[in-house]
């Protein structure tokens, strides 16, 4: 499952990794680092003070639990379960075995029971009986975790409620002055967060759609995952106790107001659907100083004729839209300084489920079908 650990020939890279690893291992400090999904804000999962510093740096409510990142199954066993011998998968329930062997290292997060005499800071779990863990595939992330030989608790490295960061400059924008160091590993390929699954309940649940699709989980997880259900949003909104506490917070929001268009009326003509969208945009943007339209496969690039309007394509495929999305929302905010963003939604299957999950949160209540 783990594969070989990455090595870096550039001495400066190695030096930077060692400096970050030392902060994680020997201090209560936190660092920004790249993963294949989004940048993380990492500190030791084993140290209460480090975990408090994470919550503090990003202004995150501490009832929202964190994912622990490990570099190998061996490290999970040694450092979180505190045992050194036996078969590698002994601490991972059988229901997860095919998922982790297919998807780790990678954007899959699983819930495990908190070990009774384990070492994990209870602040990472926000008093849940379970903790979340994944092995990221990004070579810088894995090297950092391996060099510090410490499980790293890491939420996305944005200020709470902002879109997750997919480049080091996004992290710098949000956390400059609040953390000592950011490792720059370029842009994140996946572009949105890991898929969070709970195999400890029956039927198993998809708690957060992410880098692996629901279809992939159902197909690659083995028989029990074929009837995996998606955690339903209504329970979250009504304030019931939920299994992914993070789902109840406002998330992924740019400063600009986001209006999301959702494709539904396939039976109407293309022209009438488009005319309707154009009317709505013109009306809603009447008081705007500058606004953006983010297009997918349906909205044409010349649809709005207005000097105040920036029109941008989100990408030609679902995978590209997924990897561009957060960067584009930030660019509209931070560089273009628009006050409204109109977004063409995508169909909610495959990557579209995770994309629309993030877009619906960014848009709060401004969702219009077309």
Annotated binding site for L-threonine: 37, 69, 134, 154, 194
> Which are the contacts of 96, defined by CB distance < 8 A and separation ≥ 6?
110, 199
Confirm or reject binding of residue 193 to ligand TXA (CB under 6 A).
yes
User: Per residue in 141-166, is it b (16+ CB within 10 Å) or e — as a string?
Assistant: bbbbbbbbebbbbbbbbbbbbbbbbb
Cis amide linkage into residue 203, ω under 30° from 0: yes
Confirm or reject binding of residue 156 to Mg ion (CB under 5 A).
yes
Annotated binding site: 37, 60, 64, 69, 130, 134, 154, 156, 164, 194, 208, 252
**Integer-rounded Cα radius of gyration of the chain:** 21
Q: Which of 199, 246, 315, 352 binds ligand TXA (CB under 6 A)?
A: 246
Orientation angle between helical segments 318-330 and 168-175, nearest 10 degrees: 30
Cis amide linkage into residue 105, ω under 30° from 0: yes
143 binds, among ligand TXA, Mg ion, none (CB under 5 to 8 A by kind): none
Nearest residue to Mg ion, using CB? 156
Given 3-state DSSP classes, what are the helix, strand and coil percentages for the chain, each rounded to the nearest 5? 35, 15, 50
Pairing of strands 205-208, 229-230: parallel
- Reduced to 3 states (helix: H, G, I; strand: E, B; else coil), residue 290 is coil
Q: How far is the CB of 193 from Mg ion (least distance, A)?
A: 6
Confirm or reject binding of residue 47 to Mg ion (CB under 5 A).
no
Q: How far is the CB of 113 from ligand TXA (least distance, A)?
A: 10
Confirm or reject binding of residue 50 to ligand TXA (CB under 6 A).
no
User: Which of these ranges, 103-111, 144-152, 307-315, 347-355, lies near ligand TXA under the rule CB under 6 A?
Assistant: 103-111
Q: Which of 16, 32, 35, 170 binds ligand TXA (CB under 6 A)?
A: 35
Q: How far is the CB of 308 from ligand TXA (least distance, A)?
A: 34
Tell me the C-alpha distance between 194 and 212, whole Å: 7
Q: Which residues bind ligand TXA (CB under 6 A)?
A: 35, 37-38, 40, 64-67, 107, 109, 111, 125, 128, 130-132, 136, 154-156, 193-194, 196, 207-208, 243-247
Q: Which residues bind Mg ion (CB under 5 A)?
A: 156
């Amino acid at each position: 499952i783990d594969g070989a650990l990455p090595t870096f020939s550039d001495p400066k890279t190695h030096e930077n990794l060692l400096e970050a690893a030392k902060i994680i291992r020997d201090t209560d400090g936190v660092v920004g680092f790249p993963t294949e999904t989004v940048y993380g804000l990492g500190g030791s999962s084993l140290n209460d003070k480090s975990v408090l510093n994470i919550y503090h740096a990003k202004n995150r409510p501490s009832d929202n639990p964190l994912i622990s990142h490990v570099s190998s199954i061996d490290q999970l066993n040694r450092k979180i379960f505190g045992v050194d011998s036996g078969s590698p998968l002994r601490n991972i329930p059988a229901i997860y075995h095919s998922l982790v062997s297919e998807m780790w290292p990678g954007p899959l997060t699983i819930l495990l029971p908190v070990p009774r005499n384990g070492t994990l800071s209870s602040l990472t779990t926000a008093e849940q009986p379970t903790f979340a863990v994944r092995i990221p595939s990004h070579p810088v992330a894995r090297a950092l975790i391996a060099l510090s030989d410490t499980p790293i608790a890491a939420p996305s490295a944005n200020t709470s409620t902002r879109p997750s960061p997919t480049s080091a400059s996004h992290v710098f924008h949000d956390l400059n002055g609040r953390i000592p160091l950011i490792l720059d590993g370029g842009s994140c390929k996946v572009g949105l967060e890991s898929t969070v699954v709970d195999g400890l309940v029956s039927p198993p649940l998809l708690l957060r759609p992410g880098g692996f699709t629901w279809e992939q989980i159902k197909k690659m997880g083995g028989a029990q995952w074929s009837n995996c259900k998606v955690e339903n949003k209504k329970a979250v909104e009504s304030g019931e106790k939920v299994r992914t506490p993070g789902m109840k917070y406002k998330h992924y929001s740019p400063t600009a107001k986001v209006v999301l268009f959702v494709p539904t009326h396939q039976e109407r003509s293309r022209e009438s659907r488009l005319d309707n969208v154009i009317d709505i945009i013109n009306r809603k943007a009447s008081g705007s100083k500058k606004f953006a339209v983010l297009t997918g496969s349906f909205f044409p690039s010349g649809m709005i004729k207005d000097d105040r309007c920036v029109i941008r394509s989100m990408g030609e495929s679902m995978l590209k839209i997924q990897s561009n999305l957060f960067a584009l929302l930030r660019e509209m905010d931070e560089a273009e300084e628009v006050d409204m963003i109109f977004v063409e939604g995508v169909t909610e299957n495959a990557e579209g489920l995770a994309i629309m999950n993030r877009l619906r949160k960014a848009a709060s209540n401004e969702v219009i079908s077309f």
